Amino acid sequence: MIFSLIQAQEDTTAAVDTLTKAYSNKWDAASNLQHANSVLKAASSHDLIFIVLGVTLIIWFVLLFFIIRVDKKLGKLENEMEQSNVKSTS
C-alpha cells in the first residue's frame, strides 16, 4: 500500500516536469523585455496585484463620481418639483 502511494507521487512529479520542459522555451521569451513598452514591462512583473488594485480603484472612483452626479441632479429635480407643487397649490 505504501509503495503504491510513493509510486503515485513520483508519477505526478514526472508529469509536472514534462510540462515545464515542454513550455520552458515559451517562457524564455518573456525574459527579454528591454525593448517592450512600459505597460508590458509592468504587466510582466511579479507585482501584478498592484495593477489590478489600480484598475479596480479607478473603476470604484468613476462609479462614485457618477453616483454623486446623479444624486445632485436628482436633488435639483426634487427641489424644482417641490417649488412647482408649492406654486400650484398657492
Domain that holds residue 27: 1-32
Helices (H) and strands (E) in the chain, counts: 3, 0
49 within a domain of the structure (yes/no): yes
Residue 15's pLDDT is what? Answer: 53
Q: What is the mean pLDDT of the chain?
A: 76
pTM across the whole model: 0.47
- Over the stretch 46-75, which tens digit does the pLDDT of each residue have? 678 888 899 999 999 999 999 999 999 999
Check residue 33 and report its DSSP letter. Answer: -
Query: Is position 64 within any domain?
Result: yes
Quick check: is 39 in a domain? Answer: no
What is the number of alpha carbons within 13 Å of residue 85 lying toward its C-beta?
6
Is 38 part of any domain?
Answer: no
The CA-CA-CA angle for residues 67, 69, 71, to 5°, reads 70
